Amino acid sequence: MNDQANIFDETLIKCRKKRAKAQGFVSFLHDQVISDLKDRLKEQQQEFTNVEIIGPFAEYWGGNLPFKIYGCHDDHNILPINLESQDLIISSLYLHSVNDLIARLVQMRRGLKRNGILFAYVFGENSLHELRKSFEYAELKTFGKTFQRVNPTVDIPTCGKLLRRAGFNYCVSDKLNYSIEYNDPMDLLLDIRGMGETNAMMARSRRFMPKRVLLDAMDYYRGNYKILNRTNKFQATFDVICLTGWNSKPKALV
């Protein structure tokens, strides 16, 4: 995800995000992250008068944040942000699935005024580890090898390095962990589709998944990820990393 180009089929991703919005966007994780962002904004103790929100669900975020005036844009290879025009830029939980992450971060930094701030949310490395393991088990059982069924994610150290490479200062990367309860892991698959987060890697398998692989994966999930002391409840982990960076020069050492 760091330097290799064309990991993701970005055209397919846009189609899936569009489908998610049309068929009923599953927003509960975005709602949790928006709540976290509100707390971070309060900690800044300042009024942001020039705000840009970027991402496939930017308008949803804008409607749930306390800004009177703000701009919303979907993601593009060249972001529609004027140079040094924004006090605050918010990247709304999507940068984990772009090919040239550094280019996006550099453009965001260049769009910030001096001392402007970026809050960027991405899915972290431990997200959906239960589902990954379940599909690995089922595919090894059937094919003797595994395929990429869940989009790759990024870890906290890598996030910090990417921010610094993009020219941000006072960089902070911290992780939010959400453990979601499901009545059945099949419901999780429906939610992933409703978020527009299904597998969109260029190297994904194009072959149709045999029904037995899906059934074996779901059986493995049910057998290994039941929540203790809960009847017929299964856990799904979502890690979200918040990247925070300022467009300012560090203070000189005296």
pLDDT, residue 153, reads 83
State mean pLDDT over 180-205.
Answer: 92
Q: Which pLDDT does position 1 carry in this prediction?
A: 45
Judged against a pLDDT cut of 80, whether residue 90 lies above it is answered with yes
Place of tokens 């395929």: 147
| Within-domain flag for 3 | no
71: in domain: yes
Closest C-alpha to 109, from 254, 243, 252, 251 = 243
The separation between the first and the last C-alpha atoms of the chain, rounded to the nearest angstrom, is 38
What's residue 2's pLDDT? 43
* Per-residue pLDDT band at 135 (split at 50, 70, 90): very high
Tell me how many domains the chain contains: 1
Q: What is the mean pLDDT of residues 67-94?
A: 94
pLDDT at 18 over 60: yes
Q: Are strands 112-123 and 51-54 parallel, antiparallel or unpaired?
A: unpaired
Once rounded to an integer, what is the mean pLDDT over residues 145-165? Answer: 88
Query: Would 155 be classed as within a structural domain?
Result: yes
Mean pLDDT of the chain: 92
Predicted TM-score (pTM) of the model is 0.92
Let me know if residue 134 belongs to a domain: yes
Q: Is residue 177 situated within a structural domain?
A: yes
26: containing domain: 10-246
Closest by CA to 244, choosing from 148, 154, 173, 192, is 173
Is 1 domain-assigned? no
The pLDDT value recorded for residue 3 is 44
Backbone angles phi, psi at 147, to 5 degrees: -125, 160
Residue 185 falls inside a structural domain: yes
Q: Give the contacts of 161 (CB within 8 A, at least 6 positions apart).
A: 2
Stretch among 47-56, 135-144, 170-179, 202-211 having the lowest mean pLDDT? 202-211
In a domain, residue 178? The reply is yes
145-149, 163-167, 225-229, range with greatest mean pLDDT: 163-167
Work out the pLDDT band at 5, boundaries 50, 70, 90: low
Average pLDDT, integer, range 10-39: 95
Which CATH number do you get for residue 117?
3.40.50.150
